A = this chain, B = another copy of it.
Amino acid sequence: MPVTEPTSRFLRACFRLPTDATPVWFMRQAGRYMPEYQAIRRQHKSILEMIIRPDIAAEITLQPVDVLGVDAAILFADILLPLPPMGLQLEFIAGRGPVIHNPVRTQEDLAHLGQVDVQADLGHVFEAIRLVRAELQGRDIPLIGFAGAPFTLASYMIEGGPSRNFVETKKLMYGQPETWHALMQRLTPILIDYLLAQVDAGAQAIQLFDSWVGILHPVDYRRFVQPYSQSILRSLMSQTDVPVIHFGVGATTLLPDMKAAGGHVIGLDWRVPLDQGWAMLGDDVAVQGNLDPTALFAPRSELTRQVEDVLTRAGGRPGHIFNLGHGILQHTPVENVRAVVDMVHEWTTS
């Protein structure tokens, strides 16, 4: 925690300090479900083209702050940004998601990966952070930076895109453990540099997205993943005073090990009732979550029921940040997202 207690709802909740209302933001709150985003999207050929333009990235980052009234902004970027500087040919293909045309599956592939100089290669991210911070000056809305965790990044690098069963990832993990560990050792310092530079540029909190880690058995998590995530989380927690959020999807059985790896806040997906998840983690950590993203498609009465269920399970205890259990889905009605912000604030205002 910083020397002076933070004033914003979001940062206070990260440190389990009392707040006037429960803070709320949404994973992927800046994105294609918003008409304001679509208007910018139509003017650009690709998503990457928008991300690397600091002015555009900053503008998109700020859209949900104004439209939704959320308590934090999260930088418009992508977890795969550190991959192209390593020599990976990344393309976002409509309807298919990210594709990496030269996946990494051998020691030789690994040897060919390029060095990353985060300032030279990812300077646009830091510039976007500076622009957002300047725009938010005078408002108590913190900006969240983020990166993909090494397991999730490695899985994209190995599979060459999204995967259902992660067979190639596990084949490499089980069959070439030295290559796996070398890849994780390669990614870890890059991610530390990248995240520390985001904080230097002005990010006031960091989320480490280990989106696909829930595909692992806990023993495999501890053998193949935890040391590297821990190294990143501990570096951030010892070298900065910003709070760190650690998140995975479908990772209920990994929660105690993810907490041990680090983070002031553990993100919960919607599969675990918030009170059960928090009980598994213990009361020395904050939690973020965990409305089912599909609830945002439900009629208002059902949506209200589900929001209130999450809040009831949180029980008004300091240290709850309201969010979804995963990112906002395409076609989500914006008015429902805005309604959730209001519900959370009204329901929890003391």
Interface positions of A (Cβ within 8 A of B): 165-167, 170-171, 174-175, 214-220, 250, 252-253, 270-273, 276, 292-295, 297-299, 302-303, 309, 329, 331
Q: Bound complex: CA of A22 vs CA of B171, how far in Å? A: 27
The one of B170, B253, B271 that contacts A217, using a Cβ cutoff of 8 Å: B271
> Separation in Å of the A159 CB from the closest CB of chain B?
12
**Contacting A175 at CB < 8 Å: which of B170, B174, B273, B299?**
B299
Collect the chain B residues with CB atoms within 8 Å of residue A216's CB: 271
12 further A-B pairs in the complex, CB-CB below 8 A; given A165-B293, A219-B273, A250-B250: A165-B294, A167-B329, A170-B294, A170-B297, A171-B298, A174-B297, A174-B303, A250-B271, A252-B252, A253-B272, A253-B273, A253-B276
- Of chain B, the residue at the smallest CB distance from A170 is B294
Contact A219 B309 (CB under 8 A): yes
Query: Which secondary structure dominates chain A's binding surface?
Result: helix
Instruction: Decide if B218 touches A273 in the complex (CB within 8 Å).
Output: yes
Residues on B with beta carbons closer than 8 Å to the beta carbon of A302 = 174-175
Q: Please, how many angstroms separate the alpha-carbon atoms of A170 and B293 in the complex?
A: 10
Counted per complex, copies of this chain come to: 2
Alpha-carbon distance between A214 and B251 when the two chains are bound, in angstroms: 12
How far apart are A151's CB and chain B's nearest CB, in angstroms? 14
Q: Would B292 and A170 count as touching, CB distance under 8 A?
A: yes
A118, B219: Cα distance in complex, Å = 45
Interchain CB contact under 8 A, B297 and A214: no
Once bound together, how far apart are the Cα atoms of A174 and B295, in whole Å? 8
Chain B residues closer than 8 Å to A276, beta-carbon distance: 253
Q: List 18 A-B contacts (CB under 8 A).
A: A165-B329, A167-B331, A170-B294, A174-B294, A174-B295, A174-B297, A174-B303, A175-B302, A214-B271, A217-B270, A217-B292, A218-B273, A219-B273, A219-B309, A250-B250, A250-B271, A252-B271, A253-B276
Give A239 Cβ to nearest chain B Cβ, in Å. 33
Q: Bound complex: CA of A299 vs CA of B170, how far in Å? A: 11
Residue of B nearest to A250 (CB): B250
A330 to chain B, nearest CB (A): 9
Distance (whole angstroms) from the CB of A106 to the closest CB of chain B? 15
Known: A253-B271, A273-B218. A294 touches B175 (CB 8 A): no
Cα separation A87 to B82 with both chains bound (whole Å): 49
Residues of chain B within 8 A of A295, CB atoms compared: 170, 174
- Smallest CB-CB A-B distances: 10 pairs: A174-B298, A170-B294, A174-B302, A171-B297, A253-B272, A253-B271, A252-B252, A217-B270, A167-B294, A250-B250
